[in-house]
Amino acid sequence: MKKEAIIIFFMFLFVTSSFGFVQGLKVEENSIEVIDQNNRNCIGCNCEETIMLFEGFYIAQSFTPTHNVLSKILFFISRTGNPPPIKIILNIRETLDGENLVSMQKETNGTYMIFDFEDIKIISGNLYYMIITIDDMSTSAYGYGLYKTIYDSYGRGSFFTKLTTTKWVENTQTDMLFVTYWKDYSPSLPTIEGPNNGVANDRCYYTFSTTDPEGDDIEYFIEWGDGKMFKWTGPYESGEKVIKSHSWTYEGNYTIRVKAKDTYGAESDWALFEVSMSKGKSNTPFGFIFVFGFDVDVKIIQLEPGDDYVDLEVLSKPFYIWENEIQTRNPGEFIRLYNAKGLFSPSLSFCFGICDDWGIIG
C-alpha cells in the first residue's frame, strides 16, 4: 500500500473521530441517522488492503439490514499519487443483476464516500447489494481504490467482483469496509390536557401523550414554568397517556413545556400550554410538605443552588406525603422532592423531612 494512501486514510480517521459523524448524528431537524451495519472495526489495525477501481470493473458487497429503512451508505476510498477527481457510481439492488433501488454518482478525490439519499423501504433480514464502479475511461482514473479487509470480517454478506464481459465472482475471504445508516424520526409533537386555571398551592393534574412513527418507547422532558421540571421521565409506550401533577407556589402566569424523545434519542419540538394560578392560601401544614418512608432507596441528592432536589425509589413499603391530607405512594414509584430538607441518605433505608413540592418521575 502506498504511503500517501495510508496518510490520507488516517487523516480521514482523525476527521471522523473529531466530528463523530460515523457514530450517528442529527442530520436534520427531528430525525437522527443511526448506524445499522458497520464493517469498519478493523480500520487502522493493518488488516485492510486496496482493490483498484477502473472502468468496466464492478465491485459488490452484500449486506443484511436489521431495520426497514436505508438512508445512507459510507465506504472508504484510497488514492495513490495525485489523480484528479473521478465519478464513482453506487447502485443498490436486491440481487446482483436486478433493478436499482438507488442509483447515484458522486465526484471524489479520495479518503471516503458518503452517499446520502431519500429513505428507501427495505425488508429487515433480507440480503441487499451495494455495487460500485467508476465512470471514467481516462488513465487518470487509475490511482483510486476501494478499501477492503484481508479476511472475512462481515458475517452478514459477501464480497463480489466482475468485469463487464464476465459473471460475478464471490470472494468469501474478504469484505468491503462500509457503514449503512437508517433514519429514525422523532415522536410527534406532544399533547397536553388539563386545567388552564388554578389556585396557587393547589395540585393540578395534566395528561401528556404522543406517538412515535416507528413505535419506539418514549420519554418526556417537562418544564412547569417555575424552574421545576421532570428531566426525561419514562420510558412509556408510544400513544400511552401519562399523568403528572404539579402545584405552583405563587400566583401568576406560567408556561408548561414538554418535548418527547424516542429510544434512539430523536427529539420532538416543544409543546406549550399556558396556565394561570390565582392567589390562594397554603394547603400545606405550616407552609411545607412533610414526607416520610420506611423502605426507600435514595438515588440522587442534588444540592446545587436553584436546582436542589432528592430522588428516591419507593421499595416494599408505602411512602407518605402530607400536604392538606396524607397521600400514600406505592412501591415501585420514583419520586422527586424539591427543596427537600431532613434525613435523606443513600446509605439509609428510611427517610423523613420536609419539601416545597414533589412529583412522580417514574
Query: Can you identify the CATH homologous superfamily of domain 186-278?
Result: Immunoglobulins (2.60.40.10)
User: Identity (one letter) of the amino acid at 337?
Assistant: L
Those residues whose C-beta lies under 8 Å from the C-beta of residue 245, and which sit 6 or more positions away, are: 203, 204, 205, 206, 359, 360
Q: Is the CB of residue 263 less than 8 Å from the CB of residue 235? A: yes
pLDDT tens per residue, range 210-263: 999 989 999 999 999 998 888 888 899 999 999 999 989 888 999 999 999 999
pLDDT higher at 227 or 162: 162
Give pLDDT tens digits for 22-54: 333 333 458 889 999 999 865 555 667 889 888
User: Cis ω on the peptide bond leading into residue 235 (within 30° of 0)?
Assistant: yes
pLDDT of amino acid 338: 82
pLDDT greater at residue 336 or residue 307: 336
pLDDT at res. 255: 97
Question: Whole-angstrom Cα distance, residue 143 to residue 13?
Answer: 20
Read off the pLDDT of residues 91-142 as tens digits, 9 standing for 90 and up: 999 999 999 999 999 988 668 899 999 999 999 999 999 999 987 655 555 6
CA-CA distance, 334 to 231, in Å (whole number)?
Answer: 13
Output the nine-digit C-alpha cell for 82. Answer: 495525485
What is the C-alpha separation between 141 and 135, in angstroms, rounded? 9
CA of 79: how far to CAs of 8, 88, 92, in Å?
A: 8, 13, 24
84-100 residue pLDDT tens = 888 899 999 999 999 99
Selection from 189, 231, 235, 232 nearest residue 210 by Cα: 189
Torsion of CA 190, 194, 200, 201, to 10 degrees: -90
All CATH 2.60.120 domain ranges in the chain, comma separated:
3-184
Q: Residue 264 — pLDDT band, cuts 50, 70, 90?
A: very high
Burial label for 340, CB within 10 Å (0-12, 13-18, 19+), is buried
pLDDT at 117: 92
Kindly write down the DSSP assignment for every residue of 165-198, as one continuous string. Answer: TS--EEETT--B-EEEEEEEEPPPPPEEES-SEE
Where in the chain are all domains bearing CATH 2.60.40.10? 186-278
0.85 exceeded by pTM: no
Do residues 186 and 259 touch, judged by C-beta distance below 8 A? no
Task: Indicate the CATH number for domain 3-184.
Answer: 2.60.120
Looking at the DSSP bridge assignments, the partners of residue 13 are none
Give the end-to-end CA distance of the chain in Å, rounded to a whole number. 56
Task: Say how far apart CA 326 and CA 345 lie, in whole Å.
Answer: 23
